[in-house]
């Protein structure tokens, strides 16, 4: 019974935190949202890279293209 | 990578329009979802556009876009053009009445000092129902959960574009309790 109460409280706490986090993100200006999107791209690529380096699935080709585009100079084909 | 780059991308799109390469255009996809709701990771800004020069051939019709990219030293790979470090995906919209309407009714949004047109939330949701991939339903779920969709407007769009039955069939995927 005590465990169930703790679990319920933990879920309620996480739900509230998620709500606050989403309210914050939704209230950002368009420019701030794009800055966050850029952060998410970087974090997601790093996650894919670490997974590959540890013997997991390779980085998907579309993310390799994204990385090349962002970090290599634009040259005409 | 900083915000200045996306303003540079917008400047390039404006230039493409002023050079009559593309006509009207608007941002769609996950990038538009980010601007309307909250940031979600996506590789590319999707640009839905109408060509200035009409063509029946969808492959040839992008020639003007590629030609512009080459002239300005932007590399490209199939539908992606690398504009200042952003992989911009160009989607020619003239064969799809829903996409045309979405471009026509797009809303202007200021990003820093630049104005860009963004497809509105309800047309985005209808376009995601039309596309019908798992990631499209996830984005509808996010909009629905956030309570940001004008339902009267959305259902009008769905009805006019024969998507209402698909919405009703698939809504269990993105609306809790359906």
Segment holding B82, helix H or strand E = strand B80-83
A76:B74 CB<8 A: yes
Percent of chain B with pLDDT over 90: 80
Q: What is the ipTM, given to two decimal places?
A: 0.88
Q: Which residues in chain A are contacts of B149 at CB distance < 8 A?
A: none
Helix (H, G, I), strand (E, B) or coil at B101: helix
Q: Which of the pair, A52 or A77, is modelled with greater confidence?
A: A52
Report the alpha-carbon distance of residue A55 to residue B133 in Å, rounded: 29
Average pLDDT, chain A: 89
State the helix-helix crossing angle for B134-146 and B121-131, rounded to 10 degrees.
150
pLDDT number for residue B57: 61
pLDDT tens readout for residues B22-41: 999 999 999 999 999 999 98
- What's the whole-number mean pLDDT along residues A40-67? 95
A36:B39 CB<8 A: yes
Q: Which two tokens stand for residue B39?
A: 């940031």
Where are the alpha helices (H) located in B19-163, listed in sequence order? 29-36, 63-71, 97-104, 121-131, 134-146, 151-160
Q: Which residues in chain A are contacts of B81 at CB distance < 8 A?
A: none
The chain A residues in contact with chain B (CB within 8 A) are 22, 25-26, 28, 30-31, 33-41, 43-44, 62-63, 65-66, 69-71, 74-77
Q: Which of A23-27, A48-52, B128-132, B154-158 has the lowest mean pLDDT?
A: A23-27
Report the alpha-carbon distance of residue B98 to residue B161 in Å, rounded: 7
B44:A41 CB<8 A: no
- Residue A38, C-beta contacts closer than 8 angstroms, at least 6 positions apart: B1
Q: What is the dihedral of CA B17, B21, B24, B29, to 10 degrees?
A: -100
pLDDT number for residue B15: 96
B70 interfacial to chain A (CB closer than 8 Å): yes
Q: Which residues in chain B are contacts of A74 at CB distance < 8 A?
A: 73-75, 82-85
Question: Would you write out chain B's pLDDT as a tens digit for each of its 178 residues?
Answer: 555 589 999 999 999 999 999 999 999 999 999 999 999 989 889 999 998 766 666 555 688 899 999 999 999 888 789 999 999 999 999 999 999 999 999 999 999 899 999 999 999 999 999 999 999 999 999 999 999 999 999 999 999 999 999 999 999 999 987 7
* Backbone φ and ψ of A54, nearest 5°: -100, 25
Average pLDDT, chain B: 91
Query: Of the candidates A26, A30, A75, which has its C-beta nearest B75's C-beta?
Result: A75
Contact B88, B98 (CB under 8 A): no
Contact B128, B120 (CB under 8 A): no
Contact B120, B107 (CB under 8 A): yes
pLDDT tens readout for residues A30-45: 999 999 999 999 999 9
A70:B84 CB<8 A: no
pLDDT number for residue B169: 95
Q: Which residues in chain B are contacts of A22 at CB distance < 8 A?
A: 38, 146
Helix (H), strand (E), coil (C) string for chain A: CHHHHHHHHHHHHHHHHHHHHHHHHHCCCHHHHHHHHHHHHHHHHHHHHHHHHCCCCCCCHHHHHHHHHHHCCCCCC
pLDDT number for residue B121: 98
- Residue B9, C-beta contacts closer than 8 angstroms, at least 6 positions apart: B45, B83, B84, B86, B88
Contact B58, B92 (CB under 8 A): yes
B84 interfacial to chain A (CB closer than 8 Å): yes
> Per the confidence metrics, is the pTM higher than 0.80?
yes
């Amino acid at each position: 019974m005590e465990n169930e109460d703790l679990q319920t409280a933990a879920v309620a706490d996480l739900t509230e935190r998620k709500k606050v986090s989403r309210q914050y993100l939704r209230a950002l200006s368009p420019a701030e949202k794009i800055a966050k999107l850029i952060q998410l791209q970087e974090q997601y690529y790093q996650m894919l890279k670490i997974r590959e380096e540890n013997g997991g699935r390779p980085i998907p080709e579309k993310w390799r293209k994204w990385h090349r585009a962002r970090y290599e100079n634009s040259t005409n084909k | 990578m900083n915000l200045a780059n996306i303003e540079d991308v917008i400047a390039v799109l404006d230039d493409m329009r002023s050079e009559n390469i593309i006509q009207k255009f608007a941002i769609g996809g996950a990038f538009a979802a980010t601007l309307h709701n909250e940031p979600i990771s996506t590789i590319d800004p999707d640009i839905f556009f109408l060509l200035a020069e009409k063509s029946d051939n969808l492959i040839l019709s992008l020639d003007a876009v590629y030609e512009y990219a080459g002239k300005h030293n932007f590399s490209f790979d199939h539908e992606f053009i690398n504009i200042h470090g952003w992989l911009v995906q160009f989607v020619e919209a003239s064969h799809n009445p829903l996409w045309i309407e979405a471009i026509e009714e797009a809303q202007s949004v200021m990003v820093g000092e630049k104005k860009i047109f963004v497809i509105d939330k309800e047309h985005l949701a209808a376009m995601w129902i039309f596309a019908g991939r798992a990631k499209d339903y996830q984005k509808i779920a996010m909009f629905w959960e956030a309570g940001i969709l004008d339902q009267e407007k959305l259902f009008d769009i769905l009805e006019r574009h024969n998507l209402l039955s698909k919405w009703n069939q698939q809504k269990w995927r993105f609306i809790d309790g359906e």
